[in-house]
Amino acid sequence: MFNDIKNFNKNSVIDSCSVINVVSSETLFQSAKIEKCKFIITTYIEYELLKKSRGYKDKDHEIRAFELDKRIEQAIETGEILKYSLDISDLLDPLVNEHKRGKSRGELTAIILAKKFNVGLFTDDKKAQKIASDSLGVNRVESLYSLIGWLTWSGLLNDAEKESIITQHKYYFRDVSKCVEKGFVDGLMARLT
C-alpha cells in the first residue's frame, strides 16, 4: 500500500496523530528537518492537536501531553510545521460527502489539502491511508513507517538513533516500536537494492 521507501514525499500534509508521532521524538523530528521535510497541517488539525478537550489517564499523562503540546506549538510558531486554512470551496470536494461519516474531519481536511497542493499525505490511520490512496494515488501516501524507512535508507538513522526514537515515544506513552523496527529493517534492506 505504501510508496517505495526510496521515494518519500518530503512535502506532506500531516494529520494530528502523525504530528504527535513525529514530534514525540526529537531524534526523529530533527532527522526529518535535516532531510528538509516540510510538514503541513490544516487549521482544523491544529484545533485537534492543541484546543480540543481530551481526558487524561492520570497526572503523568496530563503533564507529558502538556509538554508535547508546547513542542507542537513551538514547531508551528517557528514554521517547522506549516499551517494552512481551507477555503469554503475546498470543503465542497466530493470526498467530504463520500466520507463525512466514519472519518475524522482532520484526516479529511488533510487529504483535501494534499490534493489541493499536489503533495503527499502523512497519516498512520489505515482508513485514511485507503481513502488517500484512492484519491491521491498510493505514491503520495506516507506514514511513520515510511519516514523511518526512508531516513534509514538515506543513512540518517542508525541502530542507536532507532532505539532513541522508540524510547522517546515511550516517554509520551506511545508504543510505536513495531512500526519503527519494521521501517528501520526495510530501510536497511532498501540500501541493498
* CATH number, domain containing residue 109: 3.40.50.1010
How many domains is the chain built from? 1
Check residue 1 and give its pLDDT. 44
Residue 50 lies in a domain: yes
- 135 has pLDDT over 90: no
Long-range contacts at 130-137 (CB < 8 A, ≥ 24 apart):
130/1, 131/95, 131/99, 131/103, 131/107, 133/1, 135/95, 135/111, 136/111
Residue 182 lies in a domain: no
| pLDDT band per the 50, 70, 90 thresholds, residue 114 | very high
Residue 151 lies in a domain: no
- As a whole number, mean pLDDT of residues 88-108 equals 70
Residue 101: alpha-carbon gap to chain centroid = 22
Q: Which domain holds residue 43?
A: 5-142
Question: 91 is written with which cell numbers?
Answer: 470543503
* Whole-angstrom distance, CA of residue 116 vs CA of residue 121: 11
- 102 has pLDDT over 60: no
Check residue 3 and give its pLDDT. 62
| pLDDT band per the 50, 70, 90 thresholds, residue 7 | very high
Neighbour order of strands in the sheet with 141-142:
81-84, 38-42, 11-14, 120-122, 141-142
- As a whole number, mean pLDDT of residues 59-81 equals 94
